[in-house]
Amino acid sequence: MEFEQIEKDNAVILTVRGRMDAVTAPQFEEQCNAIIDGGATNICVQMAQVEYMSSAGLRSVLLIGKKLKGLGGGLAFYDLSGMVSEVFKMSGFSSIFPVGESQDDALAKLG
């Protein structure tokens, strides 16, 4: 799993590439926790290049989302790959977390 991050407005934009499964989901958590430890309370995740997401990936997303919410911030997603979009819809995550069509849309949904 690969990550790129930039700061924009009141959030960190995190681009994720690869698979998010039992092996790699902890890497996502570590990356997000490092961002949070750096003082960020809003993370906007670009998922266009995530080709697979398992229940372990969903668990990591949920943990980070709860942590950010507890800090008064949030976790949003945009540009979901087809597979990830389906997983979000089937699991109900698309109603739990803001999902935008674009980066600006997702940032606006974070508030």
Please state the separation of Cα 109 from the chain's center in Å.
Answer: 13
Q: Which tens digits make up the pLDDT trace of 43-77?
A: 999 999 999 999 999 999 999 999 999 999 999 99
What range defines the domain where residue 43 resides? Answer: 2-105
Cβ(70)–Cβ(39) below 8 Å: no
The answer to pTM > 0.85 is yes
Q: How far is CA 62 from CA 67, 76, 104, in A?
A: 9, 11, 22
Is the pLDDT score of 111 beyond 90? no
For residue 96, give the CATH number of its domain: 3.30.750.24
Q: Which tens digits make up the pLDDT trace of 15-45?
A: 999 999 999 999 999 999 999 999 999 999 9
Is 111 a member of any domain? no
Is 110 a member of any domain? no
Residues 20, 102: Cα–Cα separation, whole Å:
21
Q: Mean pLDDT score of the chain, rounded to an integer?
A: 97
